[in-house]
Amino acid sequence: MPSASPCALVIFGASGDLAKRKLIPAIYEMAREKLLPDSFVLVGYARSPLTDQQYRQECREAVQKFARTQPIDPEIWNRIEKNIGYVQGDYGSNDGHDRLCAYLDKADREKGTAGDRLYYLSTPPNTFEPIIRNLGEHHKKQPRDGKGWTRIIIEKPFGRDLASARSLNALLHEYFAEEQVFRIDHYLGKETVQNLMVMRFANSIFEPLWSYKYIDHVQITVSETLGVGTRGGYYAQSGALRDMVQNHMFQLMALVAMEPPAALDAVSIRDEKVKVFKSIRPMRADHADQFAIRGQYGPGQAGDVKTGGYLKEKDVPPDSKTETFAALRLFIDNWRWSGMPFYLRTGKFLTEKLSEIVVRFRSPPLALFQKQCDAPVYPNDLIIRVQPDEGMSWRLNAKVPGGQMTVKSVALDFFYKTAFNIEPPEAYERLIYDAMLGDQTLFIRGDEAEAAWSVIDPIEQGWIASQRTPEPYAPGSWGPKRAMDLIEMDGRRWFQGNNGDAEPIVACSL
């Protein structure tokens, strides 16, 4: 891949967790892969009082600790390090932005960054507005007459409901064109997620089967084995539905459900995803508690980790009704998916850490072998593992060798690591590189974010209206009992692991 053209990257919130764990290590990996331009400057911006030297030291430690490839190559790092600077300031401070502009102008003159600027908002959402206004006003004051580009990457969450997402979009568009805005959902930078489109549209075997006619249902699970940790304050305002479903899980669902795009460009792909969100059947407020299940982890232990329960976590109000688990049954009302359910579940402190999509196919029209076998014959599954063990599995039925006719479910596995013998890059490497190239394909468009919030809002409103509290669940479990009921009432079960054996379920053929 070609290296990006000369530019400066400014990270707002440079002192934060994301910057240290993901962004700075991604810059190092990009340099190692020769994707960074020769003329490249990295500027950290935050309120913490740091000198250039102290900030460089923090970045070095972050790379030594978190870079994907270890040990780090000191020669590569030294080349990056001498072009790292730090500007201290409040996010709404005019003065701070003046100093930042002066720093960037100097970099253009002395380091050849050509006026091309990528701003990364890696700060809590309450700082987005002052940063965007300040950037916009400085941009207006100093129009660079077509010299150099300006792009803005915005971290999630993009709004907390439809109204706030709309006003954030309006604010951005007051100063910047949509082509300059890169709303991040790091799931889209994952290899396995990008592979979803390759799998569907570069293979002819899927398309004829890919509809309600041959698929019984789709399950998407994104589970974590830890609690809210130090993010209790943020999480209490958010919850599983806003934090995981509106973005990561909806993106996975859209890539499974979308129609083939007219081309592989940002407009065509994002048009198709928007259509999926617009086709999701709105949840009736009085159905929210029945088809959108909430849970909250109680006290207990998962693995080695003990917890006093969500309500005892730091910065969580003791009467918080915020859900740490959500499970949904959704329908996409279009020709392809009519009447076929998508089940989504996500939560903290669950049994296993994984992100996976399970496409369960319908049973054959005639249970021919069932008559001869004692055990039931299971339907086929396509399991797409986003993490861990990135790859795919097909579960098919095969005859067990021997005189008897015994049918057993077997797995055909594809693992990224062994198939290509390479470690897939981190999502942030790909996404920062794409933003430098101006490619928006793997970023969320403004109307896409709004369409996704339009699905979430009625559920949140239904939950508020019901006044019910989230159902407690034990840490280390698969969530509350009502989440099991949600799918079992349809004669189906949550997929429990891919150990090659089909779980004892009764196939549900409509």
- Which 75-94 positions form the footprint of ligand NAP (CB under 6 A)? 91
Min separation Cβ 401 and ligand NAP, Å: 48
Task: List residues bridging with 292 in a β-sheet.
Answer: 328
Asked if 272 and 445 touch (Cβ cutoff 8 Å), the reply is: no
Closer residue to ligand NAP (CB): 70 or 126: 126
Angle at 482 between CA 478 and CA 486, to 5 degrees: 95
Containing 218, the helix (H) or strand (E) segment is strand 215-223
Q: Does 226 bind ligand NAP (CB under 6 A)?
A: no
Smallest Cα–Cα separation from 135: which of 146, 149, 150?
Answer: 150
Closer residue to ligand NAP (CB): 47 or 138: 47
217 catalytically annotated: no
- Which 280-309 positions form the footprint of ligand NAP (CB under 6 A)? none
Nearest-CB residue to ligand NAP? 16
Instruction: Spell out the residues 6+ positions from residue 441 whose beta carbon is closer than 8 angstroms to its own.
Output: 264, 265, 266, 269, 270, 434
Q: Does 479 bind ligand NAP (CB under 6 A)?
A: no
Min separation Cβ 283 and ligand NAP, Å: 25
Closer residue to ligand NAP (CB): 123 or 279: 123
| From 97, 186, 217, 248, active-site residue | 248
For 326, phi then psi, to 5°, come to -145, 140
Question: Within a 13 Å sphere around the CA of 276, how many CA atoms are in the beta-carbon half?
Answer: 24
Smallest Cα–Cα separation from 359: which of 487, 483, 216, 252?
Answer: 216
Question: Cα separation of 21 and 14, whole Å?
Answer: 11
Q: Does 16 bind ligand NAP (CB under 6 A)?
A: yes
Asked if 183 and 449 touch (Cβ cutoff 8 Å), the reply is: yes
Q: Does 17 bind ligand NAP (CB under 6 A)?
A: yes
User: For ligand NAP, which residue of 127, 180, 211, 334 counts as binding (CB under 6 A)?
Assistant: 127
Question: Within a 13 Å sphere around the CA of 98, how many CA atoms are in the beta-carbon half?
Answer: 3
Closer residue to ligand NAP (CB): 381 or 426: 426
Q: For ligand NAP, how many residues bind (rule: CB under 6 A)? A: 18
Asked if 56 and 78 touch (Cβ cutoff 8 Å), the reply is: no
Interaction mask 38-67, ligand NAP, x per CB under 6 A: --------xxx-------------------
Closer residue to ligand NAP (CB): 47 or 408: 47
- Which 18-37 positions form the footprint of ligand NAP (CB under 6 A)? 18-19
Q: Does 155 bind ligand NAP (CB under 6 A)?
A: yes
Min separation Cβ 17 and ligand NAP, Å: 4
**Mode of pairing for the β-strands spanning 341-347 and 215-223:** parallel
Q: Does 125 bind ligand NAP (CB under 6 A)?
A: yes
Closer residue to ligand NAP (CB): 5 or 237: 237
Q: Does 15 bind ligand NAP (CB under 6 A)?
A: yes
- 3-state SS class at 246: helix
State the residues that interact with ligand NAP by CB under 6 A.
13, 15-19, 46-48, 91, 122-127, 155-156
Residues identified as active-site:
248
